[in-house]
Each structure stands twice: as structure tokens, then as C-alpha cells.
Amino acid sequence: MRTIESLGSLQSKTVIVRCDLNVPLSDGVISDDGRIRASLTTIRELRDAGAKLVLISHLGRPKGEPDAQYSLRPVAERMSELLGAPVGFVDETLGDAASAAVAQLSDGEVVLLENLRFNAAETSKDPSERRAFAGDLAELGDALVSDGFGVVHRQQASVYELAQLLPSAAGRLVAAELDVLQRLTADAARPYTVVLGGSKVSDKLGVISHLIERVDTLLIGGGMVFTFLAAQGHAVASSLLESDQIDTVRGYLDDAERRGVRIVLPSDIVVAEKFAADARHEVVAADAIESSQFGSAGLGLDIGPRSAETFASAIAESETVFWNGPMGVFELDAFAGGTRTVARALTETHAFTVVGGGDSAAAVRALGFSDDQFGHISTGGGASLEYLEGKSLPGLEVLS
């Protein structure tokens, strides 16, 4: 994969940096600036090299046209604070204002253009539309540094076609993420434990299939656990259940047993009367969810305390741990216990620990943990999972 060094001297060159600045944003307030912080290593290096920086990114899922709630303006303001230097902002991606702002850059200066996805061509399924949009973007710079790891699994104009039209290379964030993922798939120290959570088992089937022959232990929590419990013949009341995946899950349980891989399911569950912060709740055995006081209306919203400690013990015995997906509805304090215990266990082990982006990264920060307490926190949950599933990532292939 091409690195920044392959681009030669960048003094006075205009470098487009495809970042992933897709941060959680509500009413203009950023609740987690982790992805902005992660982008700074590359940005600082390019500034020090004397480059003029044009940052591009998406945020959220606007419908191919401007939408104020998805503006990157708050990101530019926060980046200025973190960088300790002004980051200009242009309220368009392409046009006279964008071209003028880029032309006025001096060496080491930075400007962020408005949300790429305000332009329908960025995510178009028509390659010719994407290439035309990428061609217009390419006119703004002399080279591209691709550093948005969270989008390298997408064949989008700024990720794929733009890298074909300009001299291009991976930024430091993308290189670091790839190094970690290669370590997880090809060179993991054993015992190797994978902790999987989140709401849907269907989102994790590919990674389970690919990793089951590479790991020693799989710890299963989150909403996806109820499909596993159902596959074992247990009633799960009104908990989240993907009935169409039960047979597939049974197949994974059988495969794991044949391979000698431990799949550890919760022994107890926190069951609530409803999905709400103030909901009445109780802890019951995982094989007796309908015996809670809420009967068949009960909702499993977290793994129980015994299960959390079992998971923590397995983590403590490991040399490598990859975690993707919270253990429960961590946004509600009553149902954050499992996720908090797993996160704490990762901070206390001597193992190499990787938090796999997305909700997991948001959870550890929301629960008060800092990034440097873990071996690595990925900025790209979907990209990480697809790599671990063995899929090719277009945004990496194009940099080869």
C-alpha cells in the first residue's frame, strides 16, 4: 500500500485529505470527537511538510443535497481547537467559493469543505457519475491522502475514483488501522478472544464465520444474544430476536464445538418491563427470561452481573482481545453494567486489546474511559468488520 513517502516532497503542494469526520452531532453539538482527534496525526505531519491542506469528509446520511443538520461547520470549529491552528470552512464542496478558498491557502494552512454527501454523485451507484464528481474534486489538489478508514469499504467517489485520478497514498490513520487488523487476522497472540455484541446477529455473521477458525473464545452479548439463546431452545420473551437466523446460529454453535472453540453466552440477563431509562427491571437466568415478573412482555436489555464477570475473567486470561458491539443498552445507565464491566476488563488486562469502532468506541468514551487505556480504538466499525470477514476493501485496493 502506498504511503505518504511515495508522494515525494509536498512543500507548497495542495493535498486533498479524505478524512472520516463523521462524528455524532445533535443541534450542532459534537458528543464524541474521537474521529477528529484520530485524524490529527496525518494533518499535523502534512502541515509540517509545508503542504496546503484541503480536508473532505462526509457526515451522516443526507439525501444528496444540502441539509443544515449535517453541516461540517461544527467539526471545523472543534478541529481548530484541537489542532491549535485555524481551520477554514467553506459551506460548499465544489463551486466558486471552494475554489477561491483553496487558491488562497498558504503553506501549512487548512480548509475543510462542506459535507461530500450534499452531492448525490458522491455515493451514486453509477460509476460515471462518481468519476465526474471525483474529477471536479481532483482539480482542487495536486495529490490525495486517503485517511478516512471508516469509509474504505465503500466504493464512493472521494474514496475510490479520486484515488485513481490523483497521485494517492494512505494516511497514517489508515496505515495504523490496517496494521492492527493484519495482526488480528494473521498474527494474533493466543489465547485469542473476540467479544461480540450489538443489536443484530445478522450484522456479525460474516465475522463469526471468518474468525471461528482463528480464535479460542467467542463471548456473545448485546441484542444478538437472544438469537443464540433461541437457537439453544430457550424462550426470550419480547427481547430482540432474528428468527430467520436461528438455524444459521445453530450451525455456528455446532461448528465451534467441533473446532474446540468456546462460545460463551450469558448465564443471566437484565430484563425490563419496557425500553426506557426508568423502566422496572430485574436480573433473571438466561434460560428463564419469561419467568421474570414481566412474563412474555419482558425485554432483555443487558447481560447480567454474573455474565459480565465471566466475560471479564475470559478477557483476563487472553493475550489478544477484539471487541465489537456493546453488551446492552449502554446509553441508559440501568443497562450499561455489562458494557462497563467488559470495557474495564479490557483496560486491566495485559493483552493486546482492540475496540472495533462504531458503538463500541462511543460506549467506552461515554462510560468515562479514555482511548489510551486500550491497545487500539478503531475509527471504522463497518470497515473493520468487513476486513475481519475476509472481504476486499475498495478504498485500500486502490492504494495498492
Please tell me which residue in 358, 380, 381, 395 is annotated as part of the active site: 358
Please tell me which residue in 64, 108, 206, 382 is annotated as part of the active site: 382
Compute the radius of gyration of the chain from its Cα atoms: 23
Please tell me which residue in 13, 35, 47, 340 is annotated as part of the active site: 35
Task: Indicate the burial class of 343 (C-beta count within 10 angstroms; 0-12, 13-18, 19 or more).
Answer: buried
Is 344 annotated to bind a ligand? Reply is: no
| 326 prior amide bond cis, ω within 30 | no
Report the alpha-carbon distance of residue 163 to residue 151 in Å, rounded.
13
Is 213 annotated to bind a ligand? Reply is: no
Is 356 annotated to bind a ligand? Reply is: no
Is 117 annotated to bind a ligand? Reply is: yes
Is 274 annotated to bind a ligand? Reply is: no
Report the alpha-carbon distance of residue 211 to residue 8 in Å, rounded.
39
Is 61 annotated to bind a ligand? Reply is: yes
Q: Is 382 among the catalytic positions?
A: yes
Is 378 annotated to bind a ligand? Reply is: no
Q: Is 183 among the catalytic positions?
A: no
CB contact at 8 A, 168 and 156: no
Please tell me which residue in 200, 250, 262, 274 is annotated as part of the active site: 200
Is 222 annotated to bind a ligand? Reply is: no
Report the candidate in 336, 356, 334 with the shortest Cα–Cα distance to residue 346: 356
Segments of 181-298 assigned E as strands? 192-196, 217-220, 262-264, 268-272, 281-285
Is 35 annotated to bind a ligand? Reply is: yes
Is 32 annotated to bind a ligand? Reply is: no
Q: Which three three-digit cell numbers place residue 77?
A: 470549529
Is 73 annotated to bind a ligand? Reply is: no
CB contact at 8 A, 354 and 323: yes
Is 234 annotated to bind a ligand? Reply is: no
Q: Is 233 among the catalytic positions?
A: no
Binding-site annotation: residue ranges for substrate:
20-22, 35, 58-61, 117, 154
Residues classed as catalytic: 35, 200, 358, 382
Q: Which residues are annotated as a binding site for (2R)-3-phosphoglycerate?
A: 35, 117, 154
The binding site for ATP comprises 204, 300, 331, 357-360
Binding-site entries: 20-22, 35, 58-61, 117, 154, 204, 300, 331, 357-360
